[in-house]
Amino acid sequence: MRGVSVSVSPGRLLAVVGPNGAGKTTLLRLLSGALTPQNGEVNLDDRPLAGLGDRERARAIAVVPQSESSPFPITVREMVGMGRYPHLGPWERTGTADRAAVDRALDRCAVTAFADRDIGQLSGGERQRARIARALAQEAPILLLDEPTAGLDLRYRMELFHLLRELRDDGLAVLVITHDLNLAARFADRLLLLDRGRAHARGTPEEVVSRKTLESVYEWPLRVAPHPGPGSDTGAPQTIPLRKDDG
């Protein structure tokens, strides 16, 4: 990453977009503390993130990976319960408060009905909601998500972005890495467009999603049209890739 600055604020949803290889996942790993920047620094409330221990960092930042596998059978409730790790001491067992936090997270992500099922038995969208529930069980004020809609069908993509918007309304600071420009423009407060490790554009969807800006990054002809509605996202800029023979 070169010359990229980003802030994640409570009650805001920031979408980081850009083509493959733009540096989106690298940025998320830097913000989560999984990578240490060679230049610059990542701060959490004016404190260097690198100076925080694993548990302290996990109490502040919850990360939802794009995908993961479990080497052993595990129920949804057990997986969500792993989100309580930062709040437990060595060899400390979960208590009433921990179980209540897990129940709230399951309910918030609408996976309570699947709580006792093996995670491998769920659909892709259900598994992703369970991963978000685990992150919510951490009770961290910052939520980072890496391509949460990858491989999901239309319904689950929409449901997931609606959930992220609701979590933003609950006061969480939400950053989502996504390839879906149109959903980002409909749901995010602000966009950060990356190109080859640099910040190419940033601002509101209306400021970032323009034909000139996107064609220079994606190197493909396209048009931008307002979302026809109905709904609160009426007018949001939507990207329409063109066939090259259409001009």
CATH of the domain at 103: 3.40.50.300
Burial 196-214 (b: 16+ CB within 10 A, else e): ebebbbbeebeebbeeebb
Find out whether the peptide bond into 230 is cis, omega within 30 degrees of 0.
yes
Residue 64 β-bridge partners? 145
Q: What is the pLDDT of residue 247?
A: 55
- Per the domain annotation, does 210 fall within a domain? no
- Per the domain annotation, does 235 fall within a domain? no
Q: What is the pLDDT of residue 1?
A: 67
- Per the domain annotation, does 236 fall within a domain? no
The low-confidence residues of the chain, meaning pLDDT below 70, are 1, 246-247
Residue 238 β-bridge partners? 225
- Per the domain annotation, does 107 fall within a domain? yes
- Per the domain annotation, does 52 fall within a domain? yes
- Per the domain annotation, does 197 fall within a domain? yes
Q: What is the pLDDT of residue 46?
A: 81
- Per the domain annotation, does 238 fall within a domain? no
Q: What is the pLDDT of residues 15-44, one digit of tens each?
A: 999 999 999 999 999 999 999 888 888 888
Total domains present in the chain: 1
- Per the domain annotation, does 246 fall within a domain? no
| C-alpha–C-alpha distance, residues 108 and 103, integer Å | 9
Domain that holds residue 51: 12-201
